[in-house]
A and B are shown apart, each in its own frame.
Chain A
Amino acid sequence: MKITDARIFPYPAGDSTVARMAIEAGELGFDSLVAIGDVGHQSFQGVEILQGTIITAQSIREVLRDLRDPAVRRADVVYVDAGDLPFNRALASINEVNVISKIHTTRQNAFDHVAARTAAERGVAVEISLAPLINLRGVKRQRALNRYADILALHRRYGFMLTISSAARSILDQRSVREIRGLCELFGMTGAEVNEALSSVGRIIEPFSPVGVVR
């Protein structure tokens, strides 16, 4: 079980290089990171770096077009930013999409029980980003907490995967596993659920499959 920070933005998107963020992540209790950008497969001081890519699109046709891009195909984890309800339902049914991200920016009913069931069947995860809990204040943070509590209720009912990410652009945005547990407690997530969500990137990369016979 690898504890993974599901999304970071290293230099040049942020002010910290991927190597430095990996060193810090190791000290904070992580085994691997998903770095957005062309970072390649590396390992720093025992922390594995996975490559991620984000697709931001207005329609499913655009998503399908972007998924054919060689740069997207090279990535270990493909994130697609969430949109309205029909868009999210369609996203949940695409096998090449690994994670639906930025769910906190959508409306309350934008991810419903149908999308949740489809996501569970297709192995698509939903991202819980800690950045809004850390950086936002007031009504915006309250909305994010409300959305996460709603997603958690659907997760408990339908069993789709959750990922937890710091969405850090700097080492100052990275948080330890213990701090992540404290922040996730704010919207009712238990310690066991946090551990499961932190290790779900491994299950996304290598999904469970029937045992094959090797001849």
Chain B
Amino acid sequence: MRPRPPAMRTKKRYILVRIIPSGATVDQKQLYLSVIEAATSLFGDAAVGLAQPAAVYCDAGYAVIRCRRGTERDIAAALATVTAVGDDRVSLRTVATSGTIRALRRRMKPIRPRPEEGEMVVGGTVYAVCRYPGQKVDLIEKGIKHQKRFFFSELDLEER
């Protein structure tokens, strides 16, 4: 099948989003379903059908959402209403919008926890301490899945 000439192709926009909390493992298909659910409940089937949102990349704390040109503001608003992916509570923070994935890749700064590790007890439950740049500290409940998280800072740990 011959591809369409460039002038006849639909123009796309790509939205780069950061997945909060850092270190959350998100499945691309689950992310797509969450975005579609959020957009459909906000704008309805007709608008979402025209916008054609899709998750084209999801790794290392970032995701790229594709949509039709002209609908990126609506899709960004819908992304702000995503509160969970699968069973995990997450938040999607819009970082940038671009016409190419390559331009967005330049905006992806890897978010790695600092190597210091530790444990902390909050309310009788043991939490693993994950430190991130910017004095951020995540306390993750020790367990296999659906671990509870607390979001602290270095200052809060010093006070305890």
Taking a contact as CB atoms under 8 Å apart, the answer to whether A172 and B77 are in contact is no
Residues from 159 to 205 in A contacting B, C-beta threshold 8 Å = 170-176, 178-179, 182-183, 185-186
Known contacts A20-B136, A172-B20: A179-B151 contact under CB 8 Å: no
C-alpha gap A133/B78 in the complex (Å): 10
Residues of A within 8 A of B12 (CB): none
Q: With an 8 A cutoff between CB atoms, is B90 at the interface?
A: yes
- Count how many chain B residues have C-beta atoms less than 8 Å from C-beta atoms of the other chain: 27
Q: With an 8 A cutoff between CB atoms, is A23 at the interface?
A: yes
Q: Which residue of chain A lies nearest to B77 when distances are taken between CB atoms in the complex?
A: A182
A interface footprint on B123-160 (CB within 8 Å = 1, 0 otherwise): 00000000000111100000000001111110110000
Residues from 1 to 47 in A contacting B, C-beta threshold 8 Å = 11, 15-17, 19-21, 23, 27-28, 44-45
Q: With an 8 A cutoff between CB atoms, is B76 at the interface?
A: yes
Q: With an 8 A cutoff between CB atoms, is A109 at the interface?
A: no
C-alpha gap A175/B77 in the complex (Å): 11
Q: With an 8 A cutoff between CB atoms, is B89 at the interface?
A: yes
Q: Which residue of chain A lies nearest to B81 when distances are taken between CB atoms in the complex?
A: A134
Taking a contact as CB atoms under 8 Å apart, the answer to whether A44 and B155 are in contact is yes
Contact of A172 among B89, B136, B155 (CB under 8 A): B89
Taking a contact as CB atoms under 8 Å apart, the answer to whether A138 and B41 are in contact is yes
Residues of A within 8 A of B77 (CB): 179, 182-183, 185-186
C-alpha gap A15/B41 in the complex (Å): 27
Residues of B within 8 A of A135 (CB): 83
Taking a contact as CB atoms under 8 Å apart, the answer to whether B153 and A20 are in contact is yes
Taking a contact as CB atoms under 8 Å apart, the answer to whether A137 and B151 are in contact is no
Taking a contact as CB atoms under 8 Å apart, the answer to whether A134 and B150 are in contact is no
Q: Which residue of chain B lies nearest to A170 when distances are taken between CB atoms in the complex?
A: B151
C-alpha gap A64/B140 in the complex (Å): 43
Taking a contact as CB atoms under 8 Å apart, the answer to whether A133 and B150 are in contact is no
Known contacts A172-B20, A176-B93, A186-B42: A17-B80 contact under CB 8 Å: no
Residues of B within 8 A of A186 (CB): 42, 77
Q: With an 8 A cutoff between CB atoms, is B73 at the interface?
A: yes
Min Cβ gap A171→B in Å is 5
Min Cβ gap B1→A in Å is 38
C-alpha gap A175/B135 in the complex (Å): 20
C-alpha gap A19/B156 in the complex (Å): 7
Q: Which residue of chain B lies nearest to A26 when distances are taken between CB atoms in the complex?
A: B134
